[in-house]
Structure 1
């Protein structure tokens, strides 16, 4: 499920996924953009602590309403997502393992949990973000302060935050130098946090669901891409099971990558 950055100098990070192995993510340096207001979207989900994975024993829910809540200082550009047709407004998708909702990452709320995930050895092998919270924050910062060409999200499955996603414009990414690009090509990286969700087909189901969500909400996008390391067999297999095909192998600065693609289905014609 995870792919590694095509250009380490421009972004960094990795993702974890099905088969107990991580996949990959990127953090793209992005030019500044304007801010706009979002509509109301209220969701509640259980934190890792409330799910029994953290020090707190008290149940907790988080109100994700974006109206009237000051953004984190590093998240001052929240809402600059026009380049990806506003992932925060895509709504939920029903998958074989439950209902998934992508919600925007907020460091003030999510950094501790993301740091714990990044320090899992299985995830760290590919994301290379193990260490203090500041390291994870520096990975998030270019996306949160950028123009929206890469959007970091939590994947909330049936109310539980259990995965980290980066949805990015592959055609505006350094990856575009390495393959015949199409306008609005959209890339994904996925990290599954809690180990109990790995190796059970969860990653495959989520990848399939998010790919359908992207194609359904981005009418100008004709395909979804990923570029896992060819050595990450479980990741490549998860993409295949989710409907992606291997387009080619491409030599990137830090790896030989399997360029995986899922095309928009061709509908009726005359």
Structure 2
């Protein structure tokens, strides 16, 4: 496992309690992002996507519908993570979780700056994979996140090292691999895009 020591050199000077929750990215280029609403069909959509084998294999969250409802409500009530549906045209095509890295388990393996943001990304429909959606979306998302939080200097991803499809898409979308890290449910490749 390669260390990520050059990311560890940052000394925390901001008070994390003063950092707001993750922002909703205001997207351009034909993309639209909105917060997931668990009181609508959004819950059924996210639940169905998480059951899909190509998502479940790496997310490990093929939970019952009720558990997903609890999870979405938990995210919406806190300042750690924001569940988002991204559309291109009429229908959602991507589920995102935008999170504050310093409030996440990933902060145990590298010293996250208080305003760093992370992304979890899922293309829910298997038929929509390998269409270039993620590689096209990521530059828009990162630009929007940097605009939304001027103090954010890094956006990160931490895909499972076995998920070569995601790693290729994230690299094509402007993220650079930094090193492997051990997280509770996977060996991940930490990938970063800087401002």
Task: Provide TM-score, normalisation by structure 1.
Answer: 0.61
Structure 2, unpaired ranges of 5+? 1-18
- The answer to which structure has the higher helix fraction is 2
What residue in structure 2 maps to residue 51 of structure 1? none
1:209-220 alignment, distance < 5 Å: 209-220=140-151
Partner secondary structure for residue 214 of structure 1: helix
What is the CA–CA distance in structure 2 between the aligned matches of 1:182 and 1:129, rounded to whole Å?
Answer: 27
CA RMSD for the aligned pairs?
1.9
CA contact (8 A) 1:119 1:130 kept: yes
Residue 131 of structure 2 is matched in structure 1 by 200
Aligned pairs (5 A) from 1:148-167? 148-167=79-98
Q: Distance in 2 between matches of 1:82 and 1:224?
A: 16
Q: Is the 8 A contact 1:129 1:135 kept in 2?
A: no
The 4+ residue runs of structure 1 with deviation greater than 3 A are none
Secondary structure of the residue aligned to 1:108 is coil
Counterpart Cα distance in 2 of 1:228 and 1:189: 8
Query: Bigger radius of gyration, 1 or 2?
Result: 1
Q: Compared with structure 1, are the counterparts of its residues 234 and 115 closer, same or farther at alpha carbon in structure 2 (3 Å cutoff)?
A: same
Task: State the SS of the aligned residue for 2:120.
Answer: strand
Query: Equivalent residue for 1:6?
Result: none
Q: TM-score scaled to structure 2, two decimals?
A: 0.83
Matched, 1:232 2:163: yes
Alignment equivalent of 2:27, drawn from 92, 104, 116: 92
How far did residue 202 of structure 1 move? 1.0
Q: 2:75 aligns with which of 139, 143, 157?
A: 143
Structure 1: gaps spanning 5 or more residues = 1-80, 265-270
CA shift digits 1:121-148 (9 cap, x unpaired): 11111222325311322322320222x2
Higher relative contact order (CA 8 A, sep 6+): 1
Is 1:83 matched with 2:39? no
